[in-house]
Amino acid sequence: MIPVSAYAGARVGVLGLGRSGLATARALAAGGAEPVLWDDGEAARGRAAEAGFAVEDLARERAAAGLAALIVSPGIAHLYPAPHPAIALAQAAGVPVDNEIGLFFAALEAAKLDFDEGPEPKVVAITGSNGKSTTTALLRHILAAARRPVQMGGNIGRAALDLDPPGPGETVVLELSSYQTELARALAPDIAVFLNLAPDHLDRHGGIGGYFAAKRRLFEAGAPARAIIGIDEPEGRFLASLIPPEDLIAISASRRLRGEGWPDWRVFMNRSHLTEWRGGRQVAAIDMRACPGLLGAHNHQNAAAAYAAARALGLGPKAIEAGLASFPGLAHRMERLGASPSGVIWVNDSKATNAAATARALAAFEGVHLILGGRAKEDGIAALAPLFPRIAHAYLIGEAAERFAAELGETPQTRCGTLQAAVAAAAAAAAPGAVVLLSPAAASFDQFADFEARGDAFRALAAPHLAPPDAAPRDDREETAR
C-alpha cells in the first residue's frame, strides 16, 4: 500500500467502495486521515463497516460537512450525464473532488522529495480506447523478463494505491481509463502512452470531444518527459502535433513511418516486422510472426507501444524481442481457449466492450460464429458492417439483442438471450475449421458483474466442447493477421 499523508488529521470522503475505493480508504487511513465512506450499494457499505471504516451518506449535508476532500471511484459520474448527489454537494460547497489516481501521483511525487537511495522509480501510464490492458500487461512482462523490478496496476490488476511503494529503479506500469484521467487533480507520469480513440463512454463525457479531452489530459496536465502516440487515427495525429518532437515517439500498426515529417524516433510495422527508426535509419526489426501471443494488427499496435516504452526505459531491442516472443497473451482479449475434436476454434474476447474492439477480433478470422450483445454502447455495431461478411452466424444475448439484430440486417442470426444458450447454439452449428468467438461489442453489466465474469462464464461453458490440449487439431488459419 502507498500511504497518502496529504490529508493527515483531516476528514476525507470516499465515494464508491469497489476495488479502488477500499484501497483509497486504507491508504488515507495509513497516512493519518479520517476516511468517511459511502456506496449506494448496501453490500459494499456492509463490507466497509466490517473493515472498521466509518460509513455515512455523503449526499447528506450533515455527513458531508467538514470534508477536506471527496475521493470518487471511477465508475461514478461527476459531470455527465449528471453528477452523483454527493459530488454535486461537494462541488457546491467548494470541496476538492479527486480520485485514486490523483492521490497516487501526489503521494509518489511527495515521496520522491526524500528519495536518495538510488535511481528514482518511473511511472508509465497507458491510455486509449482499445488495447491498453494488453499493452500494460505486455510492458510489465517485457520488464519482468528482463529482470527489471516492475509493478502493474490502475485499471488492471491491483488498484494504484494498493501497490507497494516503488523502490530504486523500479517501474510502475499503470493502465488508465478516461474516467481516471478526467478527474485526477495530479497526473505526473514519466512516460505516457496514447494508443487510439474510438467512440466509447460518450454519455459520461458529453460526446466524443469530451472523451478525447479526458484522454488528452494525461499529456497536458501530466506533462510526461516522453510521449508515445499512436498516429493511426486523426486524434492521435492531432495529439502528436502538440508534443515537442524531441519528446515524442510516434507509433503505427498501419503506416511505414520512413518519410519526412514525423519525429526522429518512430516504431512501426513494416509488413510482418516491428521496426524502430531513429536518426534517419532503421536500428532494429522484430519478426512478429515469432510472437504467437501478439497476432493480428491490433496486437501489433500494442507491441509497438510496449516496445517504444521499454526502449524509453533503457532496454535494448534483443531483451524486448525476447519478452514479445514469450508473452502468453491477456485473458479475455483474443484468448484462444482451444479447439474441439472436430477442429472448431474457441476464442474468448469478452473484453471487447465496443464495436471498435470487436472489429479488431473479426478482422483476424473468417467464418465466425459470433456471440455478441450485452448492454449496448451509444454507437451500437453499425461500424462493423464492412466485416459482416466474415460472420457465418451471429448469436445475440442480453439487452442489446433486439437492436443488434436490426443492425445486423440480413446476416444470419439467432436471438439466444443468455450466454449459455448462445454457446450451445454455436457449438451445434459450427462446422470443422470454424471459429466460435465471444466478442460482445457491448458492456457486460446487464447479466454479469464485469467483462471478466462474462469471459470466465464463457470459458466454463466452452470447456466441455474442447479437446485435450495434446489432442486438439492444429489449424494454421487461426488468428491470421489481415
Binding residue ranges for ATP: 128-134
Q: In what order do the strands lie in the sheet with 435-438?
A: 335-339, 345-348, 435-438, 368-373, 391-397, 413-417
d(C-alpha 313, C-alpha 470), whole Å: 39
Cα distances (angstroms) measured from residue 53 to each of 49, 197, 232: 5, 39, 47
Q: Where are the beta strands (DSSP E) in 22-149?
A: 34-38, 54-55, 69-72, 97-98, 122-127
Cα 189 from Cα 464, distance rounded (Å): 45
Count CA atoms closer than 13 A to 3's CA, side-chain side.
10
Where are the alpha helices (H) located in 95-224, listed in sequence order? 100-112, 132-145, 178-183, 202-205, 208-220
Cβ neighbours for 293, distance < 8 A, ≥ 6 positions apart: 299, 326, 327, 328, 329
CB atoms within 10 A of CB 27: 27
Question: Which residue reads 504467437 in cell numbers?
Answer: 292
Beta carbons within 8 Å of 271's beta carbon, 6+ residues apart: none
Q: Rounded to whole angstroms, how far apart are CA atoms 104 and 447?
A: 33
Q: In whole angstroms, what is the distance from residue 199 CA to residue 78 CA?
A: 20
Q: Do 384 and 198 touch, CB atoms closer than 8 A?
A: no
322 burial type by CB count under 10 A (0-12 exposed, 13-18 middle, 19+ buried): middle
Burial per residue of 164-195, b for 16 or more beta-carbon CB atoms within 10 angstroms, e otherwise: eebeeebbbbbbbbbbbbbbbebbbbbbbbbb
What is the rounded distance in angstroms from the CA atom of residue 437 to the CA atom of residue 362?
Answer: 9
What residues are designated binding site?
Answer: 128-134
Whether omega for the bond prior to residue 81 falls within 30 degrees of 0, making it cis, is yes
